[in-house]
Structure 1
Amino acid sequence: MTATHRAASTVPALTHFAGRAGDHNDRAMTGSRVVAAGLAARFGAEPAVIGEPRPALSVGWAEELAAALPEMQAMSRRYEQLLADGGVPVTALSRCSVALATLPRIAAHRPDAVVVWFDAHADLNTPQTSPSGYLGGLALSGPLGLWDSGLGSGLRPENAVLVGARDIDPPEQRLLDRGEIGLVRVGDGLPAELRRAIAGRPVYVHLDCDVLEPGIVPTDYNVPGGLSLAELHRSAEVLAESEVVGVEIGEFESDSEASTATPIIDALEPILRAVQRL
């Protein structure tokens, strides 16, 4: 990273995507407010808010995308502006599908960066291959250009690394078997494998809370064999060895704004420190 770039990227730019984005229920919209409040307390700054909560539709991907598109486009514009200004995005999302808006802008402004996708799922399905038609299951494939979401693409397969994915559909597995997209599995060797996969490159971190072992935090999906908070913290330490160009946290569900996202924020502390010291 050049001295000029380092000087420009000094202030984390907090964002809260508050809207509906392919939701099965309303709990991630409440949960995103909880995460945003935790990040605001951590950084001592209030986030820019994009969108507003609306009742979940729980319908197919096309209708969900059409309903979410205006707020997704606003999110894309937010990222475009803050990245053009040298900001480092730190973002609370409702659902993973908001990455359809964020990742193309990251790819455009930081084509050198690796998107590290922490998720129990690969999210590499397309409208043609998805067995469920769930918009969130298309969240990474859109930025990779595997289908046209209307929000852009540009993320290269070699710049995508899945971490903790274990509920993988056959079409997604075939993509992974080609070896163009990295996969780091849960296990004792995760930190070393993650370090090798990143290979010193800048990182943009996407965290779907269901990458964790079920029961640690509330999420929509519960897939056994996930990370512990300690393993997530160790992964964050590895990623903090690189330049962290941003982080987004999604799929934290809550029925009450009185709940807390402190365990997640604490586990990500090495990444958050890295963002501040850029």
Structure 2
Amino acid sequence: MLATRLSRETGLPVQVVGTAGKPLAADWTIELPAAMPGLRLLARELDRALSEGRRALTLLPRCAAGLATLPVISKRHPGAAIVWFDAHGDCNIPDRTSTGYLGGMVLSGAAGMWPTGLGAGLTLDQVILVGSRDLDRSERELIDAGRIELVECGPDLADRLRTAVAGRPVYLHIDCDVLEPGIVPTEYQVPGGLTLADLGSVCDVLAGFEMVGMEIAELEAVWPDGAPAVLDPLIDALRPLVDALTIGAHPI
């Protein structure tokens, strides 16, 4: 749905990578091997696009697909700030995860803290968590130790994020559960999130930096009662970045 809307607004074609499959809802030891062919294909397509000087506008069903995208970004743009909007920290590792959830181990995997089979290259000091509030103990420890930066929700969010980026090129990840519950349907609803006004203000700020690319994940098509997602307000908030990425460019 989102790809169709963005394609209509930007005039850019939709490129589908991989084939949809039935969700496994299983431990990471089962999900990662099952997803590996699609993840490797995604990594190859992204690497090819970036090698051609293109910018990336990528829509992901799950944050776990970042295991494929982040090593490519790290290789092609090693100095980029990875601005990670997510209600969760996504920095667990296999021997410290309480859930076995693959999407909760993306940043740590891309940073080589456990072997994903998809490469690494990311350093945690490149990562800026934004709006993360449902954090596990091990993730809190990384933040408290200064190994990864957290920009919390609250007043002056856009200004605090501008300071954290510090002039670097930006690759942006948006897990839609970073938003306050009730704005768009997501599987996880965590109170205390960003409003659309918050998101719009940070998009205005980030559009002023060199944008390497953006990925959007974890958007559900319908609410639990079957009502369809309304995408216009979300697209309006993202518009500064969509324009920054697509005007005069050929994203994937």
- Whether TM-score is above 0.5 comes out as yes
1:157 is matched with 124
2:60 is matched with 93
TM-score, with structure 1 as normaliser: 0.85
What number of residue pairs does the alignment pair up?
Answer: 245
Distance change >3 Å, CA 35–CA 257, structure 1 → 2: farther
Distance 1:193 1:266 in 2: 22
2:233 is matched with 263
Distance 1:260 1:72 in 2: 29
Distance 2:228 2:98 in 1: 36
Distance 1:152 1:39 in 2: 30
Asked if the contact 1:200/1:241 (under 8 Å) is kept, the reply is no
Q: Deviation digits for residues 23-61 of structure 1, max 9, x if unmatched?
A: xxxxxxxxxxx1211221121122211112221111100
2:213 is matched with 246
How far is the alpha carbon of 1:259 from its aligned partner?
A: 4.2
2:166 is matched with 199
Q: Does 1:168 pair with 2:168? A: no
How far is the alpha carbon of 1:189 from its aligned partner?
A: 2.2
How far is the alpha carbon of 1:217 from its aligned partner?
A: 0.2
TM-score, with structure 2 as normaliser: 0.94
Secondary structure, in 3 states, of the residue corresponding to 1:167? coil
Distance 1:229 1:244 in 2: 21
CA RMSD of aligned residues (A): 1.4
How far is the alpha carbon of 1:263 from its aligned partner?
A: 2.3
Distance 1:129 1:258 in 2: 37
Distance 2:118 2:5 in 1: 28
User: Could you tell me which amino acid in structure 2 is paired with residue 87 of structure 1?
Assistant: R
User: Could you tell me which amino acid in structure 2 is paired with residue 264 of structure 1?
Assistant: L
1:209 is matched with 176
Secondary structure, in 3 states, of the residue corresponding to 1:36? helix
Asked if the contact 1:35/1:260 (under 8 Å) is kept, the reply is no
Asked if the contact 1:38/1:260 (under 8 Å) is kept, the reply is no
Distance 2:246 2:13 in 1: 15
Distance 1:180 1:115 in 2: 14
| Residue of 134, 145, 168 corresponding to 1:178 | 145
Off by >4 Å, runs of 4+ in structure 1: 256-260
Asked if the contact 1:116/1:161 (under 8 Å) is kept, the reply is yes
Asked if the contact 2:180/2:193 (under 8 Å) is kept, the reply is yes
Q: What 5-or-longer segments of structure 2 have no aligned partner?
A: none
Deviates more, 1:187-196 or 1:216-225: 187-196
Q: What 5-or-longer segments of structure 1 have no aligned partner?
A: 1-33
Distance 1:262 1:70 in 2: 33
Asked if the contact 2:55/2:212 (under 8 Å) is kept, the reply is yes
Asked if the contact 1:113/1:201 (under 8 Å) is kept, the reply is yes
| Residue of 61, 64, 80 corresponding to 1:113 | 80
Distance 2:229 2:148 in 1: 36
Q: Does 1:146 pair with 2:113? A: yes
Asked if the contact 1:244/1:274 (under 8 Å) is kept, the reply is yes
Asked if the contact 1:96/1:251 (under 8 Å) is kept, the reply is yes
Q: Does 1:236 pair with 2:206? A: no
Distance change >3 Å, CA 178–CA 205, structure 1 → 2: same
How far is the alpha carbon of 1:277 from its aligned partner?
A: 4.5
